[in-house]
Amino acid sequence: MSAFDDRVAAVRSFNRFFTRQIGVLREGLLHSDYTLTEMRVLYELAHQGDQPAAALGRDLGLDRGYLSRILAKFEGAGMVAKVPSATDGRSKLLHLTERGRAVYEPLDRRSREEVGDLLMRFEEPDQLRMLDAMRTIRELLDAGSGMKYAQPFVLRAHRAGDMAWITRRHGELYTAEQGWDGSFGALVGEICADFERNFDPVLEHCWIAEMGGRQVGSIALARSGEDGVGKLRLLLVEAEARGYGLGSRLVEECHAFARAAGYRKMRLWTTDQQKEARQIYRGKGYVLIAEEPVHAFGQDMVNETWELDL
């Protein structure tokens, strides 16, 4: 057996050891009647609020049939209910009922306690060593852009605090890279505030990309006010995350959600200065339909409107 074969065996051995330690191979997670995947569904509904089944399945990476079986079990137990959207009575959202919360919260508390018990077996220096080793493993796996089975980034739905990050990073990056003034950051802040204030989870979504647990990208699908037309907004990729195809992946996720939500067309605004973004849009089939020379954000530029038939 070669040295490399020994390393493969060591990784497999560690996997078996670690899964025994954290208990995810137990038939019932946390000595309950629920599997790890079922707990992930409950966690998302408890922390992200009401949402369409399609969005939940997409964020968790679950097969539609598998998710349907889980939801049928939860509905039968009175833990999850389908409720009408506040903005579109024809659409249904998954809602964690009081019964569902009564089931989930003790399990969530037990999970925190079990991890706490695990850490308390060690003195603080060893706790920090363990956490540092976890960060090292995650960073090395995330950095493996050439890996066959995984991308170096993960996408998730936006949550509390993300809009503030999107606003801040847009302002900072466009000032540093384009020389734009602070009025652009203020505009992004207005867009983010409007998105959160009028958010419709049936027709809108925002994705955050992470690498090594750090936010490195974003994109949002928003209503345009015109029937059947969605707006692509807030596309951002940090410098450290470029070169991995993240911008293209974010746009693809936005399009997939838009098709599932029933949009027939996508529209976006950009400027002639966004060379990389324009290249992505053109590659996805967007067509430039309008141009307007303007002086904005302290610069002379050309405003552009692009559209894509879905």
283: CATH: 3.40.630.30
Answer yes or no: is 277 within a domain: yes
Alpha-carbon distance of 157 to 55, in angstroms, equals: 9
Residues 186 and 299 in one domain: yes
Residues 31 and 93 in one domain: yes
SS3 state at 90:
coil
Alpha-carbon distance of 231 to 223, in angstroms, equals: 6
User: Both ends of the chain: CA-CA distance in Å?
Assistant: 53
Answer yes or no: is 46 within a domain: yes
More confident residue, 164 or 51: 164
Number of domains, the chain: 2
pLDDT of 145 above 60: no
Q: Which residue has the tokens 């964690």?
A: 96
DSSP conformation letters of 153-219: -EEEE--TTHHHHHHHHHHHHHHHHH---THHHHHHHHHHHHHHHT--TTT-EEEEEEETTEEEEEE
**Category of 222 on φ-ψ map: left (φ > 0), alpha (ψ -120 to 50) or beta:** beta
In this prediction, residue 241 carries a pLDDT of: 85
Residues 60 and 191 in one domain: no
Residues 262 and 186 in one domain: yes
Q: Which CATH number do you get for residue 95?
A: 1.10.10.10
Lookup: tokens for 226 = 């015109």
Asked whether 266 and 231 are in contact (CB, 8 A), the reply is yes
Which of 121, 141, 171 is the endpoint of a domain? Answer: 121
Lowest mean pLDDT among 77-81, 141-145, 196-200, 243-247: 141-145
In this prediction, residue 26 carries a pLDDT of: 46
Q: Among 187, 185, 219, which residue's Cα sits nearest to residue 204? A: 219
Residues 162 and 292 in one domain: yes
Q: What percent of the chain has pLDDT over 70?
A: 90
What is the domain range of residue 35? 3-121
Answer yes or no: is 91 within a domain: yes
Residues 242 and 107 in one domain: no
Residues 173 and 302 in one domain: yes
Residues 166 and 305 in one domain: yes
DSSP-assigned beta bridge partners for residue 147:
none
